[in-house]
Amino acid sequence: MIKKYEVLSNVQKSGIVAVVRGSSADDAYKTSVACIKGGVKAIEVAFTAPHADKTIEKLSEEYADDDSVIIGAGTVLEPESARLALMAGAEFVVSPSFNQEVAKMCNLYGVSYIAGCFSPREAQLAMEYGVEVVKIFPAGLTGVKTISEFKGPFPQMEIMPSGGVSLDNLADWFKDGAFVVGVGGQLVGPAKTGDYAQVTENAKKFHDAFAKLNA
């Protein structure tokens, strides 16, 4: 299997992508490790965190022998950041919006680009540029029926809702057809006060909730 599809398969198996921002490189690293310890092993290190590429590189090296851990880059707005992320070892790239040049960069290096979209036109354009998974963002504004609505005209579209996903509505998103979900504050929020143990506990809850859906 082509590497990028192996990565997407592992992301789907994880079910939850932890959106890690972090106030510093150390904070982003500790938050990511806390998520992994709790069973959420698909990590999206946002480029809003200082030196995000260094965090991605450190995590990629540390978990190089664990195929269940997938380290990606988030909030990638332009091709320069995409290249930094890819050179650091990011296995997937996520953006809050669609950028054609980022899509080209990811295609060139054989890495999946999960592009944020909010309209059918944006989603169609993203797919035309080779995007395998469309990120509906912010999903909290659209509601849990968004996926089935998009899949009406685009039945082939794989969708990751992000923004507004919680333990309370997790099952609803997957019932509506989510490929995977992105979770930020509901999962990693306690890291803002340095409570990484609670991040791990939150990760366990999300991991267990997803596992029950597939039991």
Reduced to 3 states (helix: H, G, I; strand: E, B; else coil), residue 201 is helix
Catalytic residue among 57, 58, 135, 158: 135
Q: Which residues contact 165 (CB under 8 A, 6 or more apart)?
A: 139, 140, 173, 181, 182, 183, 186
Does residue 135 carry a catalytic annotation?
Answer: yes
Tell me the C-alpha distance between 44 and 183, whole Å. Answer: 10
- Angle between helix axes 25-37 and 52-62 (nearest 10 degrees) is 40
User: Structure tokens of 1?
Assistant: 């299997």
Tell me the C-alpha distance between 164 and 191, whole Å. Answer: 18
Catalytic residue among 41, 44, 58, 158: 44
Active site (catalytic) residues: 44, 135
